[in-house]
Amino acid sequence: MVDELALEPFRTGALDRSLTPRSFMTEEQAMLVDWLLEHADLIPVTARGTEEISRVQIPSVPRAVTTHGAVILRPDGTPDSD
């Protein structure tokens, strides 16, 4: 089992409300995210609200499903009303 507290932060994953880094990715996690962004359409599905997802530090996400599935965000970050 991996001791998660012993892992070195490599890249910021998300910011808190004061825009301070809140969560981090290890180098391996960052490599996986980069690979997915390059080879697939990565669509995050999360319980986070629309304001919270705006602070997630993953670039080039085409869409996102937020707020327990209640909101679908377009690439520009606006809710899809369709």
For 10-50, what is each residue's pLDDT tens digit? Answer: 999 999 999 999 999 999 999 999 999 999 988 889 998 88
11 SS3 class: strand
* Nearest in space to 58 (alpha carbons), one of 20, 81, 28, 32: 32
Neighbours of 74 (CB within 10 A): 13
Q: Does the structure show a pLDDT above 80 at 61? A: no
- Does this model's pTM top 0.85? no
Rounded percentage of the chain residues whose pLDDT exceeds 90: 46
Average pLDDT on 55-69 reads 86
**pLDDT, position 54:** 86
Tell me whether strands 64-66 and 21-25 are parallel, antiparallel or unpaired. unpaired
Amino acid at site 69: G
